[in-house]
Amino acid sequence: MVRYHSLYIDSNTPMGRGVFTQSNIPPDTIIEMAPVIVMTAAERLLLDQTLLHDYIFEWGDDRTLCAMALGWVPLFNHASPSNCEYFMDFESEVIFIKTVREIASGEQLYVNYKGDFDDLSDPWFELK
């Protein structure tokens, strides 16, 4: 697992825990590369009944599977637009997080849960 060296987790945010940086990060920098655990559609039905439902990704070209990312990926909060984006490598079973602009030291890192960092449409969940 690769992780950008200056990242840290802080729980003092309105959304609970979040990922922050202790140094400036240039745009287009991969800051996290996390393996995933891939699960079947039947297993997803079970996960949908638990708190883990909020942390899984639809997975596969046809999105019939789901995946739980390891590492810090589940701790990135949502923003629209976001300052990071994620990419899924189905073959390698890895999720990458990459900055989309320069990130200042002390700034919280966000991904857009809808998959497109600049998608401004309403999310399917309630924002805190």
Enter the tokens of residue 79.
């923003």
Calculate the CA 59 to chain-centre distance: 14
Question: What is the model's pLDDT at position 63?
Answer: 92
- For residue 122, being part of any structural domain is answered with no
CA 123/CA 21 separation, integer angstroms: 25
- Per-position pLDDT tens, the chain of length 128: 456 679 999 998 888 899 999 999 999 999 999 999 999 999 999 999 998 988 899 999 999 999 999 999 999 999 989 999 999 999 999 999 999 999 999 999 999 987 554 544 554 445 44
Cα-flanking dihedrals φ and ψ of residue 3, to 5°? -140, 135
- For residue 123, being part of any structural domain is answered with no
- For residue 117, being part of any structural domain is answered with no
Q: How many domains does the chain have?
A: 1
Structural contact between residues 34 and 70, judged by C-beta atoms closer than 8 angstroms: yes
- For residue 125, being part of any structural domain is answered with no
pTM score over 0.95: no
Checking DSSP bridges between strand 18-21 and strand 108-111, what pairing results, if any? antiparallel
- For residue 126, being part of any structural domain is answered with no
- For residue 46, being part of any structural domain is answered with yes
- For residue 68, being part of any structural domain is answered with yes
Nearest one of 95, 111, 102, 118 to 32, comparing CA atoms = 95
**What is the domain extent for residue 13?**
2-111
CA 90/CA 94 separation, integer angstroms: 7
What is the CATH number for 53? 2.170.270.10
- For residue 67, being part of any structural domain is answered with yes
